[in-house]
Structure 1
């Protein structure tokens, strides 16, 4: 392959069936992940045209968005959720698609189970009817969120038409300070580049900070690419990628794995790879980060005060004023010490075993504040099982957290887990939009799982570094 091609262009070119008259490329899709919310209408489109799923073996279904995390007895108490559940069961049965339902030990959030099962592999094109499909780019794949009509098109043809975005390399070099996590890195990047900064781009995350990250940390970073406006985000495959995939249920085996690994590594952007844009950040400038507003870019380091409205560009000040008003916050006030009502550890961004382990370190031997409702929702049944084998569930329960079943839960509240009134939630999820967590007036502060754990214990936004130093003292 050309030494001047970045990974994105290599993978895109390998999957291009033809260039259409529209100027878009028709791409072959290697893996199609579906769930219960964006697939029912797509299957009806197939029925209306008497079409079949072209490659059911390249499609995998799970249930996550509407699944209750407390009482999963069927039928679900929510009639609409039960209808969606019944629909995906019927559709997968009729069209020959494997479904990971709540009775399957592999069930979980779609962007957790794909990598966990080894379905997600370098060099693939991956789509799902979900914004945070960019998660899978952590493996060196082109992973895109799509709409329901596109879900139908991929089911019927295993292809889709796309315009090729530009590629921006986002480099972060240096050493991250204590208590600074992958979530802080991605929130910092979004803060600096803006929620529209990535429009028209795919992001390649590069630099020694990402090189040192585990695969689960890389997934956290790529997951939130869409929140910065990027079409997708990816990290080049390396030995960390290979080690993670070896032995996974859907990974190649034996000599086939060795051959695949060699090819996967060859896809990485070389030292002469060309990009449409390059931006660089210093890891030393990043501290534990908290969103304060109504977009993921409206954030500050935990030691900072909220900036005055006049410090923002004039064309942003209307939105900033709206954010202050909605969040019931004021200019110049510190974010540290802000009282919270709810603490949520979960979502496709931060519900993996490493997230739970790190949060448990903060929680162990402490108690959730009396006024805080705190819950931990593992990203999959397998994560939940592993956490329980390690005794993490007991640590959380003893501290006063609710220990739940796997699902999307309070990230988007298409299930019973919702904020009430204007409750303020410290959340490890990915969006802090108005009403995102189930209440039209509910408020969300995005942060890392360890920061959520610290806030739950103290009842307010807390600099987790202070608590970590107490643990190690």
Structure 2
């Protein structure tokens, strides 16, 4: 029987049947951060249980950590309490932990791949919805809740029921300048925020095979915004090359047999999906959100839709509420609105390729006098590489605020980086929900290139707009 990659991984990890469709699923890697984990450790401690496989657990500090200075960590009582508890718990139970400012520290979904911990054909969980990121490596990766964190810590397994499978096939090649963030927003716009509910979405097609591994991570990261449980891409030679390099940096060599095993997890020809969606890559343009969920998007230089054009009363009602919150009107050109802030970073777009893209746009130019631009690397390793390549000097010369520490920062708005009400910001993060970056903040999510161009112009723009002005 021909199988999808998700089905192959699932079948390989079923420990036992629990009755009905429910099974006990083995988990290869468990990622931890300071939010939502103290209760789980309290639970196993009260039961007198040890962590089952500490060597298959990796911890980091990322969500509410400061990005300005390590000495700021104790300025917020809640922040310091959560970080201190995580450090104590990891030390007590023998779990590898990456402290703020250390080379291995950063956002969980950035550090795990770069440290060679995310391996094709495995399962991975974390108490964070954007765990879907790791599907880029042909991994079945999904977010879990706090009670499930306790279960995985105690047993290295998870009670689960099978997912449905959904294919999103992207034919042809993306146009020049269009990237994975644009593609992700276009897909969510097409299928909706609930289009992938209950499914593992597998991305297939020429356009997907052309993406770099970092771009694939961006695409899989956004999968949860379509309501899917996980996103996944079958492994190819790019996957193998990335893994060989990452593992090599840990002193682990990879045999040809292992490489073949990874590639064998790819979806079989003729495998049947429960759902299929087809998209032409040539029809995807530079995208940006206008509303308050990631499906409410338009081409960067397009117009805010008229509510009557939205398909269905629920979308029209949601659109009406979004317009009120965002301070927009039907038919508006987003480029007619000034912005106050730009954020580059997050587990979606905080990797070195994203930093290089931003530097390419900013080089020799200046951030608009009315705009505050914040750039935060997704990991300290990315930060180190930025400095090594001299990108930090480009950022600073342009007038951007390039922070010295890595973390989630303004993506989730849990630290001091959050903005005040009424601010309009272009962000490379993954969500534009009401209040996500601060109460009353109006967030437009876009690619790194659009964010950088908008920072320079002072309003939403593309890099092509800068070239036109220069001419």
| Range with greater deviation from structure 2 (309-318 or 260-269) | 309-318
Paired residue for 2:314? Answer: 315
Query: Is residue 301–residue 461 contact of structure 2 (8 Å, CA) maintained in 1?
Result: no
Distance 2:216 2:389 in 1: 23
Within 5 Å, which residues of 2 pair with 1:269-418?
Answer: 269-312=267-310, 313-404=312-403, 405-418=405-418
Deviation at 1:406, TM superposition (A): 0.6
Distance 2:141 2:183 in 1: 20
Query: Is residue 245–residue 251 contact of structure 1 (8 Å, CA) maintained in 2?
Result: no
Query: Is residue 336–residue 463 contact of structure 1 (8 Å, CA) maintained in 2?
Result: no
Corresponding residue to 1:28 among 20, 26, 29: 26
Query: Is residue 363–residue 396 contact of structure 1 (8 Å, CA) maintained in 2?
Result: yes
SS of the residue aligned with 1:121? Answer: coil
Distance 1:356 1:27 in 2: 37
> Do the aligned partners of residues 32 and 458 (structure 1) sit closer, same or farther apart at CA in structure 2, a change above 3 Å counting?
same
| Range with greater deviation from structure 2 (248-257 or 428-437) | 248-257
Distance 1:470 1:212 in 2: 31
Deviation at 1:354, TM superposition (A): 0.2
Distance 2:43 2:393 in 1: 47
Within 5 Å, which residues of 2 pair with 1:418-437?
Answer: 418-437=418-437
Q: How many residues align?
A: 469
Paired residue for 2:457? Answer: 458
SS of the residue aligned with 1:248? Answer: helix
Paired residue for 1:444? Answer: 443
Distance 2:380 2:467 in 1: 29
Query: Is residue 132–residue 145 contact of structure 1 (8 Å, CA) maintained in 2?
Result: yes
> Do the aligned partners of residues 375 and 257 (structure 1) sit closer, same or farther apart at CA in structure 2, a change above 3 Å counting?
farther
Paired residue for 1:85? Answer: 83
Paired residue for 2:184? Answer: 186
Deviation at 1:255, TM superposition (A): 6.1
Deviation at 1:22, TM superposition (A): 4.4
Q: Deviations over 1:87-136 (max 9, x none)?
A: 01100000000001124211000000000000001001000000100000
Distance 2:82 2:255 in 1: 37
Paired residue for 1:248? Answer: 246
SS of the residue aligned with 2:135? Answer: helix
Deviation at 1:18, TM superposition (A): 1.4
Q: Deviations over 1:398-446 (max 9, x none)?
A: 00100112110000111111011110110000000000012x2111000
Distance 2:376 2:309 in 1: 38
Deviation at 1:336, TM superposition (A): 2.6
Query: Is residue 107–residue 380 contact of structure 1 (8 Å, CA) maintained in 2?
Result: yes
Q: Deviations over 1:280-310 (max 9, x none)?
A: 1001111100001010000001121111111
Query: Is residue 453–residue 461 contact of structure 2 (8 Å, CA) maintained in 1?
Result: yes
1:209 and 2:187 are equivalent in the alignment: no
What TM-score, normalized to structure 1? 0.96
SS of the residue aligned with 1:272? Answer: coil
SS of the residue aligned with 2:66? Answer: coil
Deviation at 1:260, TM superposition (A): 1.8
Query: Is residue 362–residue 468 contact of structure 1 (8 Å, CA) maintained in 2?
Result: no
Query: Is residue 101–residue 380 contact of structure 2 (8 Å, CA) maintained in 1?
Result: no
SS of the residue aligned with 1:199? Answer: coil
| Range with greater deviation from structure 2 (19-28 or 228-237) | 19-28
Q: Deviations over 1:300-342 (max 9, x none)?
A: 0112111111112223221111000000000011123321110
Distance 1:257 1:73 in 2: 45
Deviation at 1:19, TM superposition (A): 1.8
What TM-score, normalized to structure 2? 0.97
1:110 and 2:113 are equivalent in the alignment: no
> Do the aligned partners of residues 346 and 418 (structure 1) sit closer, same or farther apart at CA in structure 2, a change above 3 Å counting?
same
Deviation at 1:272, TM superposition (A): 1.5
SS of the residue aligned with 1:336? Answer: helix
SS of the residue aligned with 2:219? Answer: helix
> Do the aligned partners of residues 113 and 412 (structure 1) sit closer, same or farther apart at CA in structure 2, a change above 3 Å counting?
same
Deviation at 1:74, TM superposition (A): 6.2
| Range with greater deviation from structure 2 (337-346 or 4-13) | 337-346
Query: Is residue 33–residue 110 contact of structure 1 (8 Å, CA) maintained in 2?
Result: yes
What is the root-mean-square deviation in Å for CA atoms of aligned residues? 1.5
| Range with greater deviation from structure 2 (147-156 or 333-342) | 333-342
Deviation at 1:20, TM superposition (A): 1.2
Deviation at 1:249, TM superposition (A): 4.4
Distance 2:468 2:155 in 1: 55
SS of the residue aligned with 2:298? Answer: strand
Query: Is residue 63–residue 101 contact of structure 1 (8 Å, CA) maintained in 2?
Result: yes
Query: Is residue 115–residue 250 contact of structure 2 (8 Å, CA) maintained in 1?
Result: no
Deviation at 1:175, TM superposition (A): 2.0
Q: Deviations over 1:153-185 (max 9, x none)?
A: 000000011111110110111121122111000
Distance 1:303 1:410 in 2: 25
Q: Gaps spanning 5+ residues in structure 2: where? A: none
Distance 1:138 1:468 in 2: 33
Distance 1:92 1:249 in 2: 24
Distance 1:426 1:113 in 2: 25
